[in-house]
């Protein structure tokens, strides 16, 4: 048995004096944590909303459906207890040194890397705890899925999301006394791991101003402008919403038509410029493109009056005009990402309806325009939850941590619980990872912009239904004109490929090239050719009703889709000109990446 069992004054502990001193230190840090929490959560605070996600109605409907099917419930219960008895019998036999009876056990998943420690399989007790949990988890999820089929789409998403998150929270690996790796570390290190973990928790609560802001990487290992967002360029124009970056050319000749990026403002743009090996900016410049990037402001109380149209006209359209002024061209190619693509869609519809030709082509990265089935984030959006979010924006903006928590909950096993154990129980600093640093570099959002986004798109699907207006005039997806390149990713849980495809098909006035990439919302986009990873499918025929039928007729190519897109972009630039130095006409304000992107709310 790997766990130490040598006898000392305290079982298993080799240095009782050191262990005692560490426990005293642990108690002191725990007191500091409690004091910080008490200071930031006053007794007269409004009581938290008991059902912030409005789950009760969905679970009430689910319960009613279960009650109406007693025979199926009885069979499911019998199957569950039969499985538990088989697991207990196998564990008892193993503890007594009997023959292996695992062939009689129910079919269970392995449980993933959270059960990778050998003791989860070698020690009969821990193996029983693991298998009992896995059986309960699988049984519960199947029970929900078998009974929620008659629920509405939103109710079904809510109960399945909440069930999964509850089960992930109950994973025995999350509990000190049930996790053999934590017990072993505590014995081997005389409790020093717990002291380090408590100190990290205190530091994370200080960063979160009383809320636990879990570190997912070594926060000191990265800095924007030092070892991230390093592509050479200048900020050539700014207003109170954005800074406009122009990247320096690395080729003697460049395509005449410039390329402007409209990134999301939910996260920061530099996911496209993480480092030299992963930088789409560096790669595009090397292909001979004049690249501009919008760097959105990280808003605070000063931006409380900004609206969706502020971001559209004072943001995207103002940047387009400045790019045209700087380059002397009559049109620009646009590239957009996520919510930046949703904004671009409304902009393109507005321009198309007016016959405005300032945009030659538009590219959409994992951007939703039809929100009928808009992915897992929908579980956070209904009329009640929108009202609750509004109440949290009393200062005129949505706090950065609120959005970060929502995204982390979508993958709680990977982005919450694994770090709770690694950081606070094992006392290990998380591994340095640039993408997770970017993920933790959260942004706020102006209240009116966020309300409009949730209500108009997620709640009402107004754009796809022809009910969205720009300057009081309705705009339609069919108003979007010109060549369009639409990229979706297979494993995207934020902008599901089926949802992106549905929106692309409604661009009936545009020449749409639809591309499906391997991997997910980030890795499927940030996939440099040099990595030789994943694959992509291309099919310009959008007549199939389903994405599956479209994919069956598409051509698959191994590797990155970037070269395919580069060829598409080149086809929409008629000639080459001398490389353009940043700010030749508008001037230079500061070096890229600029000051807006460096603003953090957890510093």
| Residues designated as active site | 338
Q: Which residues pair with 262 in a beta bridge?
A: 336
> In 259-358, which ranges are E strands?
259-262, 291-296, 332-337
Cα–Cα dist 533/267, whole Å: 24
Do residues 134 and 104 lie in contact, with contact meaning Cβ atoms separated by under 8 Å? no
Round to whole Å and give the CA distance between 566 and 560: 11
DSSP class per residue in 65-76: HHHT-HHHHHHH
- Cβ–Cβ < 8 Å for 576, 251: no
3-state secondary structure of 190: coil
Q: Which two tokens stand for residue 480?
A: 């979007």
| C-alpha angle 575-581-584 in degrees, rounded to nearest 5 | 105
Exposure on the CB side of residue 156, measured as CA atoms within 13 A: 13
Task: Say how far apart CA 470 and CA 463 lie, in whole Å.
Answer: 10
For residue 593, say if its preceding peptide bond is cis, omega within 30 degrees of 0.
yes
Cα separations (Å) of 81 from 77, 102, 136?
Answer: 6, 16, 10
Tokens of 251: 């080729």
Rg of the chain in Å (alpha carbons): 27
Q: In whole angstroms, what is the distance from residue 344 CA to residue 496 CA?
A: 18
Answer for the pair 460, 467: CB distance below 8 angstroms, yes or no. yes
CB 298 within 8 A of CB 397: no
Instruction: Please report where in the chains the tokens 């957009």 appear, as a residue.
Output: 336
Cite the DSSP H helix spans in 96-219: 119-122, 124-147, 153-169, 180-188, 192-207
Please state, in angstroms and rounded to a whole number, the distance separating the CA atoms of residues 331 and 323.
9
Structure tokens that stand for 110 in this block: 């392995």
| Residue spans of alpha helices (H) in 189-338 | 192-207, 280-286, 308-309, 318-327
Cβ–Cβ < 8 Å for 556, 535: yes
Query: What whole-number distance in Å separates Cα of residue 376 and Cα of residue 551?
Result: 23
Q: Which residues, other chains included, contact 187 with Cβ-Cβ below 8 Å and sequence gap of 6+?
A: 3, 4, 12, 13, 14
SS3 284: helix
One DSSP character per residue, 372-394 reads TT--GGGGG-SHHHHHHHHHT-T
Distance CA 323, CA 260 (A): 8
């Amino acid at each position: 048995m790997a766990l130490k069992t040598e006898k000392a004054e305290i079982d298993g502990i080799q240095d009782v004096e050191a262990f005692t001193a560490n426990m005293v230190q642990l108690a002191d840090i725990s007191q500091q944590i409690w004091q910080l929490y008490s200071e930031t959560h006053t007794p007269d605070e409004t009581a938290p909303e008991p059902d912030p996600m409005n789950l009760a109605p969905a679970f009430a409907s689910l319960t009613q459906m279960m009650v109406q099917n007693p025979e199926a419930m009885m069979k499911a219960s019998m199957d569950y207890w039969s499985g538990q008895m088989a697991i207990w019998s196998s564990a008892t036999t193993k503890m007594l040194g009997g023959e292996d009876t695992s062939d009689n056990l129910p079919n269970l998943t392995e449980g993933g890397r959270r059960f990778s420690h050998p003791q989860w399989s070698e020690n009969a007790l821990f193996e029983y705890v693991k298998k009992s949990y896995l059986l309960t988890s699988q049984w519960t999820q199947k029970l929900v899925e078998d009974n929620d089929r008659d629920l509405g789409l939103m109710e079904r998403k809510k109960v399945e999301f909440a069930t999964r998150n509850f089960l992930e929270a109950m994973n025995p690996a999350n509990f000190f006394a049930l996790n053999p790796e934590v017990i072993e570390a505590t014995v081997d290190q005389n409790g020093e791991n717990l002291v380090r973990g408590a100190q990290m928790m205190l530091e994370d609560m200080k960063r979160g101003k009383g809320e636990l802001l879990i570190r997912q990487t070594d926060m000191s290992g990265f800095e924007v402008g030092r070892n991230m967002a390093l592509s050479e360029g200048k900020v050539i124009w700014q207003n109170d919403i954005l800074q406009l970056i122009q990247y320096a050319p690395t080729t003697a000749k460049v395509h005449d038509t410039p390329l402007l990026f409209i990134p999301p403002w939910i996260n920061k743009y530099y996911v496209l410029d993480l480092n030299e090996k992963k930088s789409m900016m560096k790669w595009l410049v090397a292909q001979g493109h004049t690249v501009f990037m919008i760097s959105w402001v990280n808003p605070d109380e000063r931006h409380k009056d900004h609206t969706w149209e502020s971001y559209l006209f004072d943001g995207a359209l103002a940047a387009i005009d400045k790019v045209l002024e700087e380059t002397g061209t009559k049109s620009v190619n646009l590239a957009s990402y996520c919510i930046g693509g949703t904004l671009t869609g409304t902009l393109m519809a507005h321009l198309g309806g007016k016959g405005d030709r300032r945009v030659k082509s538009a590219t959409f990265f994992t951007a939703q325009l039809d929100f009928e089935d808009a992915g897992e984030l929908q579980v956070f959006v209904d009329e009640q939850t929108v009202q609750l979010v509004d109440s949290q924006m009393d200062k005129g903006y949505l706090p950065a941590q609120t959005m970060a928590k929502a995204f982390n909950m979508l993958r709680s096993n990977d982005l919450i619980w694994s770090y709770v154990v690694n950081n606070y129980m094992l006392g290990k600093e998380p591994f340095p990872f640039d993408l997770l640093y970017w993920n933790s570099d959260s942004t706020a959002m102006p209240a009116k912009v966020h309300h409009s986004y949730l209500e108009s798109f997620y709640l009402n699907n107004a754009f796809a239904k022809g009910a969205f207006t720009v300057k009081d005039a309705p705009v339609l997806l069919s108003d979007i004109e010109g060549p369009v390149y639409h990229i979706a990713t297979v494993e995207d849980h934020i902008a599901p490929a089926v949802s992106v495809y549905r929106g692309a098909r409604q661009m009936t006035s545009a020449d749409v090239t639809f591309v499906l990439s391997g991997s997910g919302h980030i890795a499927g986009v940030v996939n440099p050719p040099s990595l030789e990873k994943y694959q992509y499918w291309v099919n310009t025929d959008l007549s199939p009703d389903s994405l599956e039928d479209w994919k069956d007729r598409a051509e698959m190519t191994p590797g990155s889709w970037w070269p395919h897109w580069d060829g598409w972009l080149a086809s929409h630039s008629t000639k080459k000109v001398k490389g353009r130095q940043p700010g030749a006409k508008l001037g230079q304000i500061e070096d890229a990446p600029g000051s807006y992107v460096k603003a953090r709310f957890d510093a």
